[in-house]
Amino acid sequence: MDNINRRDFLKVAGTAAAVTAVSASCGDAVNTGKIADTTTSVSKNIPTDKMTYRTNPKTGDKVSILGYGMMRLPTISNQSARESGDEIDQETVNKLVDYAIEHGLNLFDTSPAYCRGLSETATGIALSRYPRDKYFISTKLSNFSPQQWTREESIALYKKSLKDLQVDYIDYLHLHGVGMGGMKQFSQRYLDNGVLDYLMQEREAGRIKNLGFSFHGEQEVFETLVDNHDKYHWDFVMIQMNYVDWKYAHQLNPANVDAEHLYNRLTEKGIPVFVMEPILGGRLAKLPSHVQEMLRERRPESSIASWSFRWIATHPNILTILSGMTYMEHLQDNLSSLCPLEPCTEEENTLLQRVADEFVKFPLIPCTACQYCMPCPYGIDIPGSFTHYNKCVNEGHIAVSTQDENFKEARRRFLIGYDRVVEPKRQAAHCIGCGTCVSHCPQNIRIPQKLRDINDYMEKLKQETL
């Protein structure tokens, strides 16, 4: 029911966009795309000519500060199901892309691995309806599986990207997930097989306009690659950055590096920065209520997510911020945060630092629901389990003891809610701890341990022995 409503809404929104586009051209609402937002009843006025652009120092490209992440595309049956086995809802993807381009967004980021491998094709279909100079394509060499570590397989993967995206050159090509598995894996994936050399030749040939890497994990790899900038000439680097990861990435997970260090190092070297996970897979869009209040008091009409986008965009060396937007509401909200950009003041920066201080006090699982861990060979819905757990933490529905005033409520919400979002046979209890997922997690979450913790908590709720 929920989904039908959303679908209907998206249709309505799409139609409304089309209608206003017509009326705009008739001159009565110049430069404004008005959208009837039936779900929130707040009508949004998002200007189409106020997008902030950053200039690529090498190519002179004017890149929109907001980039479209094609990792969380909507599917036919379930709009929210990044994990569902359904086909991508191409019609909605097209509408989202149209709306984004209409509002000045011009960079689209994808990967051959996203959406069970369907993302590049869907992106290609949506973008091929526009002239090639209207958009920038960012994709990755996602040769994660050891069988793809050969030169042939890797090149085949790159060629397939060109084909699926229906383009003859790629604007931004990332070495995907650099740092996971340390220097050893980096060598195996890109150096020993000569793939990096090949890609640099492709850059010279003009089929890759910019070559860079997306960084997760071990600092040593980052430092080595940046130190060798003279050799590789990185045109950009993608890092995970937001006001929490700025100073707390390492504290939250010892395997990660604070964004402050990464950003400053890249800026020193003059390498433009791509940003991923601006709102930590949605966790910075719905903060615990008392933390939210701190922000709401300051800007009552802005969404919680908008703070992170504004904060990141305030940094001058950011080329673009990638956000995976499944719904029209996400896209509209992000556009309205950045069209135009109101830079964060010093005072606001201090406020966000305080929010970050509070945020790290809550024992959330740092899952961004990126789906890299999926599919679990034993059918566990890992991101679904973590998202549910985090939701309960955020809403204050985690019981500490059976004596808690809200124990019954928390018990019901956790157990019933879990059954609602994750089928019982895909829940934490069925994790056998094989560890297949661990190496895939860009957040370095010890997934089996976390699933076990969730199951232990559930057992205590069920047996009322908390």
Q: How far, rounded to the nearest angstrom, does the alpha carbon of residue 291 sit from its chain's CA centroid?
A: 22
Residues 165-194 that bind other proteins (CB under 8 A): none
Identity of the amino acid at 171: D
CB of 380 to other proteins, least distance (A): 9
Instruction: Report the alpha-carbon distance of residue 147 to residue 127 in Å, rounded.
Output: 31
Candidates 374, 393, 438, 466: give the one binding other proteins (CB under 8 A).
374
How many whole angstroms separate alpha carbon 415 and alpha carbon 221?
42
Q: Which residue has 């929010």 as its token pair?
A: 355
3-state secondary structure of 409: helix
Among 252, 356, 367, 376, the residue binding other proteins under the rule CB under 8 A is: 376
Dist. CA 280–CA 285, nearest whole Å = 8
Among 106, 123, 148, 387, binds other proteins (CB under 8 A): 148
- Residue 47 DSSP label: E
The stretch among 60-68, 273-281, 310-318, 374-382 that binds other proteins (CB under 8 A) is 374-382
User: What's the min distance (Å) between Cβ of 236 and other proteins?
Assistant: 22
| Measured distance CA(433)–CA(59) in Å, rounded | 47
Cα angle at 71 between 262 and 156, to 5 degrees?
90
Q: Which of 113, 180, 252, 451 binds other proteins (CB under 8 A)?
A: 113
The site map against other proteins for 314-353 (x = CB under 8 A) is ----------------------------------------
Residue from 452, 453, 457, 466 touching other proteins (CB under 8 A): that is 452
| Residue 19 or 434 having the CB closest to other proteins | 434
Alpha carbon distance 279, 282 (integer Å)? 5
Indicate whether 417 belongs to the interface with other proteins (CB under 8 A): yes
For residue 389 the two structure tokens come to: 């757990």
Between CA 68 and CA 186, with CA 146 as vertex, the angle to 5 degrees is: 70
Q: Is the Cβ–Cβ distance between 52 and 65 less than 8 Å?
A: yes
- Assess contact for 93 and 105: CB atoms under 8 A: no
Region near other proteins per CB under 8 A, out of 56-64, 214-222, 247-255, 415-423 = 415-423
Q: Is residue 403 within the footprint of other proteins (CB under 8 A)?
A: no
Phi and psi torsions of 386, nearest 5°: -70, -40
Nearest to 362 by CA among 256, 281, 290, 278: 290
- For residue 61, the one-letter residue type is D
446 touches other proteins by CB under 8 A: no
Closest to other proteins by CB, 403 or 463: 463
Question: What is the closest distance, in whole angstroms, from the C-beta atom of residue 326 to other proteins in the complex?
Answer: 13
Binding mask 24-63 for other proteins (x = CB under 8 A): ----------------------------------------
Residue written as token pair 């090949």: 198
Task: List the one residue from 241, 318, 370, 392 that touches other proteins (CB under 8 A).
Answer: 370
8 contacts other proteins (rule: CB under 8 A): no
> What single DSSP character describes residue 75?
B
Q: Which of 10, 100, 107, 115 binds other proteins (CB under 8 A)?
A: 115
Do the beta carbons of residue 257 and residue 219 sit within 8 Å? yes
CB of 394 to other proteins, least distance (A): 13
Q: Which region among 31-39, 210-218, 311-319, 433-441 touches other proteins (by CB under 8 A)?
A: 433-441
Count CB neighbours of 131 within 10 A: 8
- By CB under 8 A, which span of 43-51, 238-246, 303-311, 372-380 interacts with other proteins? 372-380
Q: Which residues contact other proteins by CB under 8 A?
A: 1-2, 71, 82-85, 112-117, 142, 144-145, 147-148, 370-372, 374-379, 381, 409, 412-413, 416-417, 419-420, 424-426, 429-434, 436, 440, 452, 462-464
